[in-house]
């Protein structure tokens, strides 16, 4: 199957598209035969799945749209409603432009698999079901492109009592498992998430470690009054000093003490936290704050990684373009005897990996296979993820 995966992460700086050729030699679509009995817990029949990244494209959001997404995080229902369709239109236009650029037509694509843009995520707590909202209307995508669209992957896992995240470990297992080597994959987006691969799929460990770029970006935007949106290559952080009392206080956040399964988002590590920091630390130097927040990311990811002692770490996500952040993570892992490398060294662009993961999840849905790992998300069992919108 040829599937276009779409991913717009918590950094909300743009959407990544990945065109993939995914097959297991059968590619039988289970439209009429889906049932729970077709989703065995122990043998999903995924070992023979072949994944080939054909093309990828990163489309930055126009400043107007990025601002609308930022406002939607704390906005009213009318704004979110309108943005749902606006993002769907942006995604669809991006797909059509992508296909034209590559000399392809919509009829040559079997499906679009869209994660959407997370607006709010509420993990389950004290026995209560959580909730999540990703927008970017699949109806608009299917209507404008004429391509079957799979979307809303996280909801099904959460309806079964899970965290709804991370959902990429199945793809991580298929792409990066290597006999005799215990690999970890760290994705640094707005939120950072870690996968540590086991000998088989069900020994895989994965969870959100905490902030990736989210706090850094929010601080840069707030202190520059919107003139800057991120710390390019970590230059601000590199010129600052760590405010140790602030860092010590941030390390005490309850999320870092929580054991997996766990997931988080900007609801915890976002604008509100930055506002609280600036209120408590009036007059703090901008570079010092960015350095301290960067060191929080370094500390939280390296603490999580060290707990599971992988032989090798693969670093991916938009955060790997922050040279200072990567250098500090690499240094801290090296001290702990853990080697690390960028995903680009394996022939895959960092910007393509998450979009490719959702292309794979779409493939699993269309071939009647579960996409979640209950051991990772805490769901009651394996579930067929996503909803399908026909063109």
* Mean pLDDT for all residues in the chain: 93
CA distances from 121 to 135, 237, 259 (A): 12, 29, 18
Who's near 202: CB < 8 A, 6+ residues apart? Answer: 42, 373, 375
Looking at CATH, the fold of the domain delimited by 170-346 is given as Nucleotidyltransferase; domain 5 (3.30.420)
- Predicted confidence (pLDDT) per residue in 183-235, tens digit: 999 999 999 999 999 888 989 999 999 999 999 999 999 999 889 989 999 99
CA 333 from centre of chain: 22
- Predicted confidence (pLDDT) per residue in 46-87, tens digit: 888 999 999 999 999 999 999 899 889 877 899 999 999 999
pLDDT score at 30: 58
CATH class held by domain 2-165+355-389: alpha beta
pLDDT score at 40: 40
Tell me: pLDDT of 28 over 80: no
pLDDT score at 165: 95
Look at 5-9, 24-28, 163-167 and tell me which has the smallest mean pLDDT: 24-28
Tell me: pLDDT of 41 over 80: no
- Predicted confidence (pLDDT) per residue in 84-130, tens digit: 999 999 999 999 999 999 999 999 999 999 999 999 999 999 889 99
Question: Distance (Å, rounded) from C-alpha 109 to C-alpha 116?
Answer: 19
Question: Distance (Å, rounded) from C-alpha 289 to C-alpha 283?
Answer: 10
Residues in a beta bridge with 267:
none
Residues of the chain with CATH 3.30.420.40: 2-165+355-389, 170-346
Whether 389 and 144 have beta carbons less than 8 Å apart is answered as no
């Amino acid at each position: 199957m040829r599937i276009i995966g779409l991913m717009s992460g918590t950094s909300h700086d743009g959407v990544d598209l990945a065109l993939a050729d995914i097959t297991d030699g059968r590619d039988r679509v289970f439209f009429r035969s889906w049932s729970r009995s077709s989703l065995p817990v122990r043998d999903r029949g995924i070992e023979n799945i072949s994944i080939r990244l054909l093309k990828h494209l990163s489309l930055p959001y126009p400043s107007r749209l990025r601002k609308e997404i930022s406002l939607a995080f704390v906005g009213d229902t009318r704004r979110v409603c309108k943005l749902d369709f606006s993002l769907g239109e942006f995604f669809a236009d991006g797909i059509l432009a992508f296909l034209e650029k590559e000399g392809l037509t919509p009829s040559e694509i079997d499906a679009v698999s869209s994660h959407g843009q997370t607006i709010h995520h509420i993990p389950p707590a004290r026995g209560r079901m959580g909730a999540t909202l990703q927008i970017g209307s699949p109806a608009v995508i299917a209507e404008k492109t004429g391509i079957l669209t799979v979307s809303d992957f996280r909801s099904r896992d959460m309806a079964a009592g899970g965290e709804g995240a991370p959902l990429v470990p199945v793809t991580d297992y298929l792409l990066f498992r290597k006999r005799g080597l215990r690999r970890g994959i760290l994705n640094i987006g707005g939120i950072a998430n870690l996968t540590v691969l086991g000998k088989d799929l069900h020994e895989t460990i994965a969870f959100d470690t905490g902030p990736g770029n989210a706090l850094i970006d929010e601080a840069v935007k707030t202190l520059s009054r919107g003139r800057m949106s991120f710390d390019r290559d970590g230059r601000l952080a590199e010129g600052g000093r760590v405010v140790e009392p602030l860092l010590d206080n941030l390390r005490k956040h309850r999320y870092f003490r929580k054991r997996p399964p766990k997931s988080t988002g900007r609801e915890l590590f976002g604008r509100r936290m930055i506002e609280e920091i600036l209120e408590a630390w009036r007059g703090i130097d901008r570079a010092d704050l960015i350095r301290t927040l960067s060191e929080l990311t370094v500390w939280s990811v390296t603490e999580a990684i060290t707990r599971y002692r992988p032989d090798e770490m693969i670093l991916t996500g938009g955060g790997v373009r922050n040279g200072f952040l990567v250098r500090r993570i690499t240094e801290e892992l090296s001290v702990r005897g853990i080697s690390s490398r960028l995903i680009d060294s394996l022939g895959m662009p960092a910007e393509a990996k998450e979009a490719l993961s959702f292309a794979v999840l779409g493939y699993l849905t269309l071939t009647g296979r579960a996409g979640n790992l209950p051991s990772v998300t805490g769901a009651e069992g394996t579930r067929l993820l996503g909803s399908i919108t026909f063109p």
